[in-house]
Amino acid sequence: MSFNNDFNMYIPTRVLFGSGKLNQLHKQEMPGKKALIVTSNGNSVKINGYLERVEKELEKIRVGYFLFDEVEPNPLKSTVMRGAKVAIENNCDFIIALGGGSPMDAAKAISIMATNEGDLWDYVTEGTGKGKTLKMTLLN
């Protein structure tokens, strides 16, 4: 695998964590007009009402959204590439990761591939190889 050592990466990340933070989402400055909500392929965010709350918070401030709820534990490259394609096809201009580490990791990788050409492995400095579990190291 060859690695392109000539690229720029800017991934501003704001993490809201703690009791009641979800209810403050509408008070945050949004970086765009339509979000890709990235979450796991499980049901916990739906059953516990978190997804519905995020949707209502975005609706309060007239921000559109599209749901990508296909992230498995230890996200695969194919999932990231599919998420990037969904973001592009639905004109999403920012990403909200809802859930734990896997949705957060996938969201970072999706943001890279939604705004850059090529294959995800072109931007990964460490990993287990094509078609295997995605493990990213993002360097600044």
Each residue's pLDDT tens digit, 11-69: 667 777 788 888 889 998 899 999 999 999 999 999 999 999 999 999 999 999 999 99
Residue 25, domain member (yes or no): yes
Rounded Cα distance between 111 and 86, Å, is 11
- pLDDT, position 127: 57
Residue 136, domain member (yes or no): no
Residue 113, domain member (yes or no): yes
Residue 1, domain member (yes or no): no
DSSP state letters, 8-37: ----------STTGGGGGGGSPPSSSEEEE
Instruction: State the residue range of the domain holding 105.
Output: 21-122
Cα 127 to its chain centre, rounded Å, is 19
Confidence at 7, pLDDT banded by 50, 70, 90: low
Residue 98, domain member (yes or no): yes
Helix locations, 3-138, DSSP H: 44-47, 50-60, 77-89, 101-114
Task: Report how many domains make up the chain.
Answer: 1
- pLDDT, position 136: 46
Q: Count of alpha carbons within 13 Å of 62, Cβ hemisphere only? A: 0
Residue 15, domain member (yes or no): no
Residue 67, domain member (yes or no): yes
- pLDDT, position 122: 83
- pLDDT, position 9: 58
Question: pTM of the prediction?
Answer: 0.81
| More confident: 69 or 140 | 69
Residue 5, domain member (yes or no): no
CATH of the domain at 45: 3.40.50.1970
Rounded Cα distance between 116 and 85, Å, is 11
Average pLDDT over residues 106-114: 93
